[in-house]
Amino acid sequence: MALRTTAVGTGPVRDLARAERSATAEAVVTGDPQAKPGNGRPMIIIRARAEAVERSKVRVPVLLIAADPRWLRSIPSMRVRLRGRFVPPRGPDLLAAVVIVRGPPTFLGPPSKIQRAAEHVRAKLRAAVARLPPDKRAVLPGMVVGDTSRLDPELAEEFRTAGLTHLLVVSGANLAIVIGAVLGLCRLAGLGRRRAPPVAVLAVCAFVVVARPEPSVLRATVMGLIGLLALFTGRQRQGLPVLAAAVLLLVLIDPELARSYGFALSALATAGLLVLAPPWRERLARRMPGPLAAALAVAAAAQVAVAPVLVMLSGEVGVVSVFANLLAAPAVAPATILGALATVTAPLSLPLARVIVWPAGLAVGWIIWVARTAASLPYATIPWASGALGTTLLLGAGAAALALRSHRLRLLAAAAMIGVLVGVVALRVIAPSWPPPGWQMVACDVGQGDALALSAGPGQAVVVDAGPDATPVDRCLHRLGVTDVPLLVLTHPHADHINGISGVRHGRTVREVLITPRTSGREARHTSGLRIDPAATGQQWRVGDLTLSVLAPLTTAPALSPEDDGTTINNASVVLVARKPGFSALLSGDVELEAQRVLEGSVPRVQVLKVPHHGSRSQDPAFLAAAHASIALISVGAHNDYGHPSATTLALLHRLHIQTHRTDKEGDIAIARTPSGLTTIPRH
């Protein structure tokens, strides 16, 4: 680790990053490009290894952030030439620099033959599942080869809440299923104990190449190969020594794994299966059928082992994850085996592969249903202290549970756990349907972006911003029963506010669009055929009993240009005050410090505050305090790359005694009117 830290912390690449200079470099792509909504334009993230910069030969890892869609064509092992600005990396990754790339890549050569073959296989699998329903064709490639390029972020979040995220990545479970299937076929073919393991080794190597060598895949591969070697030599396998050897070998090969939470979770889950599952299975088997005891022991052991790390990262404890894993388990092996068979078949016969994925789709459909049902339960996850404190408290609770020597106390503890589950299910049964009656406003969970719906009558809503993607906002409005949008307000032309406009328009009538008078025109490609009006300071709009008043921006300010930075565009946001009988809200777009300070004196008292710019650090305390709000809403994406919401902003809202709610934690958040005042009702 020290050697790797020294390597990335010195040299020409780090010198460029410290000076934040621009330079031309050559690099080798080491990971699949990932497209994410960015601040004003799509953002493409690519992991690479810098090979040359300013006539100096180097060999250090870098992270490329690009906007040109041609970067999506890059495949691991391709050598590219690029020009960009080098900046120091932030976060725990061992990187020499982050490169803000300008323009498209210059491909200096094709990918390696192995990577070309792997990409061909992955493309054929995507073609084979193309006729399945959208959710199934997104999840199945993820389960089989780790390809989550088509996965809906909302569905991914539901898998996370249900404790089933491990099914969306290639891990030890996938590899064990593949190895077991290959060894079973070898046995049917008459291959003995000596000849079967080499065949399984070849299958594992092919599997890893197609799945890409991610940390969990590498850990599972090394463990599997060591186990196969033990089988080949006839020596007895011992689980913990195999795991220890795998972890040690991988960390020596790639020291960065020592700082990877994904790798730690994978290793801990395996350790839980080796240490905790066998004795738990034996004890449970005395009171229930063997297969059920084994399934319950495996699910519980894995969840208990990873719980301390998960609570440190998320500040939540899963309540239903063990039971969700138990329900999903029978479908995992059929989905994986049939998916792997389709992967092998697709390059040879695409029609046959399409037949094979049909029953695999049924198994995947069951897993998706389990994930969605578990995630929709109230208190599927419960808040817990995050960081080291949360981990310590959870470990202390676990130690106390293990210290229960009394059979009666253990029965009481088990009864309490079952009671929690029954209570969660009962809450789901008696909980009001969505949307709650009397809803006034809903902050739609659209990921890292903004989309708000203001009730304007039966089937009607004024929509403020549309989020970064069409699907989440469309689903949110569908759940609300909105078919008519009298007014669509686009606060400013950033992608995380306007790229989902087609989702607002899908199956709905949009009568008018209100935009910032300072717009650069980026929203025009999404609003063709609609009536568009610029907002004017002091202007009022009435829709039913809903009144919207425009506070900003000042129409005397200059229009935006393509060269303006993100802060300038944010400060051009339309700021609105929404009022109805018994309800008022300040909708502040993404205004930052400069615009907030200008508006301080004109902010009226309201009940609800939509916190500007996803809760970033750029907040003026006087602006937030001037609203005198009792409820604050933060629209933000889970695990976003910007660190939103800022801990400083959350602390400020706490000092102002404002009750804060976040879409990344609660999903869609409704503000409803009750006889005693306003209340918040999350959908999750």
Rg, C-alpha atoms of the chain: 27
Helices (H), 377-469: 387-402, 407-430
Task: Give the closest residue to 330 by CA, choosing from 286, 372, 364, 373.
Answer: 364
* Model confidence pLDDT, tens digit, residues 127-146: 999 989 888 988 998 888 87
Q: Are 83 and 24 in contact (CB under 8 A)?
A: yes
Q: What are phi and psi of 603, to 5 degrees?
A: -75, 125
Whether the pLDDT of residue 295 is over 70: the answer is: no
Whether the pLDDT of residue 513 is over 80: the answer is: yes
* Model confidence pLDDT, tens digit, residues 663-681: 988 889 999 998 888 999 9
At position 348, the amino acid (one-letter code) is L
Global pTM value: 0.59
Q: Are 579 and 546 in contact (CB under 8 A)?
A: yes
Question: What is the pLDDT averaged over residues 529-535?
Answer: 93
CA dist 507 and 467 (Å) reads: 17
pLDDT at 215: 59
CA dist 503 and 497 (Å) reads: 12
Q: Provide the residue count of the chain.
A: 684
Q: Are 441 and 608 in contact (CB under 8 A)?
A: yes
More confident residue, 282 or 3: 282
Question: What is the pLDDT averaged over residues 388-411?
Answer: 53
What does the H/E/C string look like for 280-331?
Answer: HHHHHHCCCCHHHHHHHHHHHHHHHHHHHHHHHHHCEEECCHHHHHHHHHHH
Whether the pLDDT of residue 590 is over 70: the answer is: yes
pLDDT more than 70, % of the chain: 76
Q: Which H or E element spans position 368?
A: helix 350-376
Q: Are 493 and 569 in contact (CB under 8 A)?
A: yes
Lowest mean pLDDT among 91-95, 286-290, 420-424: 420-424
Order of all β-strands in the sheet with 540-543: 540-543, 546-552, 575-580, 583-587, 608-610, 631-634, 659-662
Task: Give the closest residue to 552 by CA, choosing from 587, 585, 520.
Answer: 587
pLDDT at 40: 45
Most confident of 199-208, 431-440, 510-519: 510-519
Task: Tell me 235's DSSP state.
Answer: P
More confident residue, 673 or 233: 673
Residues 84, 85, 86, 88, CA torsion sign: negative
More confident residue, 406 or 337: 337
Whether the pLDDT of residue 293 is over 80: the answer is: no
Angle at which helices 277-285 and 290-314 cross, to 10° = 140
Q: What are phi and psi of 29, to 5 degrees?
A: -70, 130
pLDDT at 182: 78
pLDDT band at 654 (very low <50, low <70, confident <90, very high): very high
E-assigned strand segments in 405-494? 439-443, 452-457, 460-464, 484-485, 488-490
pLDDT more than 90, % of the chain: 34
Q: Which residue has the tokens 């972890």?
A: 247
Question: What is the pLDDT averaged over residues 562-585?
Answer: 89
CA dist 367 and 499 (Å) reads: 30
pLDDT at 223: 62
More confident residue, 557 or 356: 356
pLDDT at 504: 95
Q: Which residue has the tokens 């929203």?
A: 523
At position 537, the amino acid (one-letter code) is T
Tally of CB atoms within 10 A around 527: 18
* Model confidence pLDDT, tens digit, residues 11-38: 888 888 888 889 999 999 988 887 765 5
pLDDT band at 163 (very low <50, low <70, confident <90, very high): confident
Task: Give the closest residue to 661 by CA, choosing from 617, 589, 608, 613.
Answer: 608
Question: What is the pLDDT averaged over residues 574-588?
Answer: 95
pLDDT at 515: 94
Query: Can you tell me whether residue 253 is helix, strand or coil?
Result: helix
- Beta carbons within 8 Å of 248's beta carbon, 6+ residues apart: none
Mean pLDDT computed over every residue of the chain:
81
Residue 484, strand partner residues: 460, 509
Token representation of residue 584: 């008022």
Tell me the CA distances in angstroms from 573 to 245, 586, 595, one per residue in order: 56, 13, 9
Whether the pLDDT of residue 373 is over 60: the answer is: yes
CA dist 272 and 239 (Å) reads: 11
pLDDT band at 6 (very low <50, low <70, confident <90, very high): low
* Model confidence pLDDT, tens digit, residues 170-197: 666 666 667 777 777 777 777 766 777 7
pLDDT band at 287 (very low <50, low <70, confident <90, very high): confident
Cα angle 120-124-130, degrees, rounded to a multiple of 5? 145
Lowest mean pLDDT among 65-69, 249-253, 517-521: 249-253
CA dist 156 and 360 (Å) reads: 19
pLDDT band at 39 (very low <50, low <70, confident <90, very high): very low
Whether the pLDDT of residue 236 is over 50: the answer is: no
- Write the DSSP assignment of 596-623 as a string of letters: HHHHGGGPPP-SEEE-GGGG-S---HHH
More confident residue, 468 or 225: 468
Question: What is the pLDDT averaged over residues 596-616?
Answer: 94
- Beta carbons within 8 Å of 376's beta carbon, 6+ residues apart: 158, 428, 684
How buried is residue 458: exposed, middle or buried, by Cβ count under 10 Å (0-12/13-18/19+)? exposed
pLDDT at 399: 54
Whether the pLDDT of residue 80 is over 90: the answer is: yes
User: Omega into 468 within 30° of 0, i.e. cis?
Assistant: no
Question: What is the pLDDT averaged over residues 409-414?
Answer: 56
pLDDT at 362: 93
- Beta carbons within 8 Å of 167's beta carbon, 6+ residues apart: 142, 143, 159, 328, 332, 367
pLDDT at 575: 96
